[in-house]
Amino acid sequence: MFSFGQLIFGLCFFIAFVLIIYLSYKTDKKNQPNYFKGSYKVLVGFMIAFSLLLLIKYLTQK
């Protein structure tokens, strides 16, 4: 489906993206803590939704 080079690029991109988002979130949370109350619930929701999509994909493949 993907070549080895594409998989490596995707993995590096994902790691860099998550790192940048984490650092940005960390600095914003220090500056404006009121906006980030309960933000972990959104993260958990995204993780559950993504896990369900992966589960559906693997259960429906032959």
3-44 pLDDT, tens per residue?
A: 999 999 999 999 999 999 999 988 988 888 888 788 889 989
Query: In this predicted structure, what is the pLDDT of residue 20?
Result: 96
Dihedral-angle region of residue 19 (phi above 0 means left; psi in -120 to 50 means alpha; beta otherwise): alpha
From residue 44, give the alpha-carbon distance in Å to each of 2, 4, 33, 38, 47: 29, 30, 19, 10, 5
Query: In this predicted structure, what is the pLDDT of residue 35?
Result: 81
Q: In the chain, what is the greatest distance between 2 CA atoms, to the nearest angstrom?
A: 50
pTM (2 d.p.): 0.59
Instruction: Copy the structure tokens of residue 2.
Output: 């993907």
